[in-house]
Structure 1
Amino acid sequence: MISERKDDHVRLATELHRAADTAREFDDVRFVHHALAGIDRHEVDLGVTVAGMRWHTPLFINAMTGGSERTGVINRQLAIAARETGLAMATGSMSAFLRDPGAAGSYRVVREENPDGIVLANVNANTSAADARRAVELVRADALQIHLNAVQETVMPEGDRSFGAWAGNIGRIVEGVEVPVIVKEVGFGLSGETITRLGDLGVAAADVSGSGGTNFALIEQGRRADGGFAYLADWGQSAPACLLEALGSELPVLASGGVRHPLDVARALALGASAVGISGVALDILLARGLDALIAELGGWLDQLVSLMVLLGAPRPADLTGCDLVIGGELAHYCAARGIRIDQPSLRQSRAARAPEPAAPCLV
């Protein structure tokens, strides 16, 4: 049953991604153009530090799938793409393996194809510390993702209905594994209050995983026969909104959810993300055009990100936090309603305060 659900998720995620308009609030974030800000291309270094790990790039392939024969093939191809482009990669939820060891190969293949890369294992918030260690060991993971998916579980016909133990269990997993723990949403965003609470639980970083990308409320809605919960299709906060909520937080944050192109990557980094994950866009390219096309596309994204950093005068990804931004539209309205100051001086200071590395001044 789990393997069938995993295959359904891939099918529905691809259909919804191709039909979705995910632009929304990323386009409310604009860089101020300074015509003399540019630097030389050889000055740019894409390397970043994430939860104590050194990553070659600030772009990574986020959690997607695993648990069936078909998803094992997809994971193999994603791992090859990660290896060829130097991207970190997270497995999909490893719940299928933890319930059925026969599903192990669909996840183990990620490490087999990328023996020297950064690999993140992924489990749910109900997982025991012992099972979390099993997941880490299976793929020799460099870090562990714990995903928060209360909205998905609520809509899922066979989903969990009790979430009160999640916070305490996250703390036990943090204490019980020997790798950094990154907690992520699955597409509905993390509020500032949640990010603060995660920091108190001892996690190493939080992936805000905002709305606008893969929508698990719609995916699970597509698996229901009764048509219930359709009104949750727009639930949650966008990745830019979550990043603004995180301003001034001591906990490093990652960004994913609705990332469409390299400019969105630069925007997220400028708002304080240590790294930026993509899922739906990578899956769509892989299934529609093949592995070689995905590798070429990811390489093109990295090349264009370097070009944007040259244009903005940012030698390192963290230096983008010093660049001037104008925030408008629905995102500005959200910030006003939540009491988040986005006037330039306070925004710049808050972004710089939570940049993952000491930031050289951006030439503006």
Structure 2
Amino acid sequence: MRTSAGSASRCCRRKETRTIASQDARGAAPGAGVGSARKEDHIRLAAEQRRAPSARNDFDDVEFVHHALDGIDIADVDLGVTVDAWSWGSPIYINGMTGGSETAMRVNRTLAAAAAATGVPMASGSVGVALDDPGMAASFTVIREANPDGFVMANIGAGRPADAGRRAVELLGADALQLHLNAVQETVMPEGSRGFGDWLRGVEATAAECPVPVIVKEVGFGLSRRTLRRLHEIGVRVADVSGTGGTNFARIESARGDDAFAYLGDFGQSAASCLLDAPEPSPQLLASGGVRTPIDAVKALALGARAVGIAGPFLTSALEGDEDRMIAELRSWLDQIAMLLALLGAARPADLQRTDLLLRGRLREFAELRGVDAAAFSHRTDRIPSTDPEEH
């Protein structure tokens, strides 16, 4: 289910797409073909990471305490979530993957068709390459063409001018803008920028100018307590902590260069760590990075995420252009998440924040070092009144 706010402006923005692309052509960056080659490299190297054996990550250090009589009927489970002013019928969304090449167009078309069939929100890859070279715009606008009524998030980098966010939103007729922070990736990227000093002011300016709400996200290295607090102070309402454990852009960019930064392959914090570390008050939290299975998504929701972004697990089907398979995978994730909620006694995803969790290993060590009471998570149901008449 989608909120209807702004639907009229979305229609207008979609009609303006081709005009905007034509206007942007006058400011296209020289050598923009390099951007398309980079996007192809990203897809190829991300797919190679997917073929590697699945590594352990911090979601493995999160364990539900099983209460055998807490389950509910699956018919009583509602997967709907509220994020900012939006009502989503799904607690998961397809996170930004790619754009700016022929392969990216096929990937985005497949993902968008599956999003349309299932009602799952979807984000684009970084639209910056299309703002530099409007000839690449079709690999992004295909998302709205294949998913005309769904919830779509455009994506742009924090190092761009404030009006880039507006242009990205207009190009896709987007409902929200993901503004990504990727200082680690830029550091490792052979052609990357190393000028990060104005990013906080840039985020604030982009959020103020953007015609739709802004979601600030990392690209796989995590948002710390300090970062989330600073985002809250400048008025950012939603943030995706996007931690380690999934597609690793430090390793991707290192492989594209001379591997001089291979030692940054384990840099950053996991999504689970970031959720534990989040301050109060904070932007509303989304989570992504290292989500391999439906149980990982449910764990992220239990740790405080309002919704969970998935990318890597869907890449193979998207690369093959297999829309039916992609739709089946999304429906399977939603079905399994609903069954897990029923097992855990959660009628809605938000109810998972009242389940008991055991935090182990590296995640518990992180919590203790950051001053988070890890043991308190194992006693959350103690605060819920019992329904047993013998106890009253």
TM-score (norm 2): 0.87
Tell me how far 1:88 sits from its aligned partner: 0.3
Q: Does 1:48 align with 2:81?
A: yes
User: 1:282 is matched with which residue?
Assistant: 314
Match of 1:10 in 2: 43
Equivalent-residue separation in structure 2 for 1:329 and 1:159 (angstroms): 35
Q: Indicate yes or no: 2:174 matched with 1:141.
A: yes
Structure 2 equivalent of residue 266 of structure 1? 298
Q: Who wins on radius of gyration, i.e. which is larger?
A: 2
The separation in 2 between residues aligned to 1:169 and 1:361, in whole angstroms, is 47
Letter in 2 for 1:338: R
The answer as to 2:155 corresponding to 1:122 is: yes
Amino acid at match of 2:316: D
AA partner of residue 170 (structure 1): V
C-alpha separation in 2, matches of 1:29 and 1:133: 39
Q: C-alpha deviations, 1:110-169, integer Å up to 9, x for none?
A: 011111100000000022222211110111111000011111001100000110110001
**How far has the Cα of 1:284 moved from its partner?**
2.4
Give the 3 Å change call, closer, same or farther, for CA 217–4 of structure 1 in structure 2: same
Residue by residue over 1:24-53, the C-alpha shift from the partner in whole angstroms, topping out at 9 and shown as x without a partner, is 210111111111101111111111111211
Give the distance between the partners of 1:142 and 1:35, measured in 2 at CA. 41
- Where 1:97 maps in the other structure, the secondary structure is helix
Contact in 2 for aligned 1:314/1:362 (Cα 8 Å): no
Q: Distance in 2 between matches of 1:345 and 1:166?
A: 35
Deviation at residue 347 of structure 1 after TM alignment? 8.0
1:233 aligns with 2:265: yes
What residue number does 2:335 align with? 303
Question: Counterpart of 2:374 in 1: which secondary structure?
Answer: coil
Match of 2:98, as an amino acid? T
The one-letter code matched in structure 1 to 2:42 is H
CA shift in 2, pair 1:289/1:6, >3 Å:
closer
Contact persistence 2:110–2:321 (CA under 8 A): no
Paired with 2:160 and 2:318, the residues of 1 have a C-alpha distance of: 30
1:191 to 2:191 alignment: no
Q: How does 1:147-166 map to 2 (within 5 A)?
A: 147-166=180-199
Deviation at 1:254, TM superposition (A): 0.5
Q: 1:295–1:128: structure 2 CA closer, same or farther, 3 Å change rule?
A: same
In structure 1, what is the equivalent of residue 5 of structure 2? none
The two structures have a TM-score, normalised by structure 1, of 0.93
Counterpart selection for 2:116 from 80, 83, 92: 83
- 1:356 matched residue in structure 2: none
Displacement, 1:336?
1.1
Indicate the residue corresponding to 1:92 in structure 2. 125
Q: Over the residues paired in the alignment, what is the CA RMSD in angstroms?
A: 2.0
Residues 46-65 of structure 1, C-alpha deviations (whole Å, 9 max, x = no match): 11111211111011000110
The Cα of 1:108 is off from its aligned counterpart by 0.6
1:331 aligns with 2:363: yes
The letter for the 2-side match of 1:286 is A
- Give the percent of matched residue pairs that are identical in Structure 1 and Structure 2: 55
Output one character per residue of 1:278-313: Cα deviation in whole Å (capped at 9) or x when no partner: 111111233368332221111111001000110111
Distance 1:220 1:362 in 2: 53
Residue number among 236, 242, 248 corresponding to 1:209 in the alignment: 242
Tell whether 2:261 aligns with 1:250: no
Q: Does 1:170 align with 2:203?
A: yes
Matches within 5 A, 1:94-109: 94-109=127-142
- Unpaired runs of 5+ residues, structure 1, are 353-359
How many residues are matched? Answer: 354
* 1:293 aligned onto 2:312: no
Matches of 1:128 and 1:361, distance apart in 2: 52
Which structure 2 residues correspond to residues 319-358 of structure 1 after superposition, within 5 A? Answer: 319-344=351-376, 348=380
Matched-pair contact (CA < 8 Å) for 2:221–2:267: yes
Q: Using the alignment, how far apart are the partners of 1:174 and 1:361 within structure 2? A: 42
CA distance in 2, matches of 1:18, 1:36: 39
1:312–1:362 Cα contact (<8 Å) kept: no
Query: Partner letter of residue 261 of structure 1?
Result: T
Contact 1:181–1:204 (Cα < 8 Å) also in 2: yes
Q: Evaluate the alpha carbon distance shift between residue 234 and residue 94 of structure 1 in structure 2; reply closer, same or farther with a 3 A threshold.
A: same
- Compared with structure 1, are the counterparts of its residues 267 and 339 closer, same or farther at alpha carbon in structure 2 (3 Å cutoff)? same
Counterparts in 2 of 1:26 and 1:166: CA distance versus 1, 3 Å: same
Please tell me the residue identity of whatever aligns with 1:250: S
- Structure 2: how far apart are the matches of 1:291 and 1:125? 32
The one-letter amino acid of 1:194's match is: T
Cα displacement (A) at 1:20: 4.7
Q: Would you identify which runs of 4 or more consecutive aligned residues in structure 1 move more than 6 Å? A: 360-364
